[in-house]
Amino acid sequence: MVSKVKAGTAFDSPFKIRLNKVLTTKVFWLKVLIHLGALLPLVNLYYLALSDQLTADPVEAVIHFTGIGALNLLLITLLVSPLSKFSRQAFLMKTRRLLGLYAFAYALLHLLNFLFFEVQFDLALFVGEIVKRPYMTVGMAAFVILLLLALTSFDKVKRRMGKSWQKLHNYTYLAVVLAGIHFYWSVKSEIIEPGIYLVLMLALLFLRRDKFRRWFKGKR
């Protein structure tokens, strides 16, 4: 009987105890939902595209979907901080990095889809389009910012960068603004949908007005 107790105690290793603790936390299950919410729509999108079940213009549908997905995830990332503050649920802040990485992933797919379907990876043509079309200029600027944010989102990089890390990641707000402008300028006739996104974007930035005031005062 004693040996069984010892065996059971030995089996409950620190790793297992930690794993059980992780599996029961709110953060773990919220991150599971984020993974599912971000990945399943992509699986469905490319399944419909490959099975020829999308719209009459599947290329435009795929490019539009991934672009909107990136913008949605950026806005949700901005929503986390005020939502955590007003609801007093601090654990929500632990989801921001994951949401930001998925926003970058969608933006990367948006860019790759455009490169593959629209310009067939002709980089000279692509650069020409960026220079010639303002909506692509701001879109590419937003993507470069998201790329830098994704590359520096890991803890080791954050520790090495020190205070400059936060300064860099404050450019998230600029990326959101540029992404919203990119969407607004890219549509040819429909302005209601991008207009709604711009209003949401401005509302989320307005919630941070005190933070922006501190920045401007600090720079004087």
Each residue's pLDDT tens digit, 131-144: 999 999 999 999 99
Please report whether residue 1 resides in a domain: no
pTM for the predicted model, two decimal places: 0.86
By CB atoms closer than 10 A (0-12, 13-18, 19+), residue 94 is middle
**What is the dihedral sign for C-alpha 114, 119, 123, 126?**
negative
Angle ∠(100,42,94) on CA atoms, nearest 5: 25
> How far apart, in whole angstroms, are the C-alpha atoms of residue 181 and residue 175?
10
Q: Which two three-digit tokens encode residue 195?
A: 């207009």
Over residues 69-118, the pLDDT tens digits come to 999 999 999 999 999 999 998 889 999 999 999 999 999 999 999 999 99
Given a cut of 80, whether residue 9 has pLDDT beyond it is no
Given a cut of 50, whether residue 1 has pLDDT beyond it is no
Please report whether residue 155 resides in a domain: yes
Please report whether residue 120 resides in a domain: yes
Are 130 and 162 in contact, with CB atoms under 8 Å apart? no
Please report whether residue 18 resides in a domain: no
Over residues 28-44, the pLDDT tens digits come to 899 999 999 999 999 99
Please count the structural domains in the chain: 1
Domain, as residue range, for 105: 26-219
The CA–CA distances, whole Å, from 177 to 23, 184, 194, 201 equal: 37, 11, 12, 7
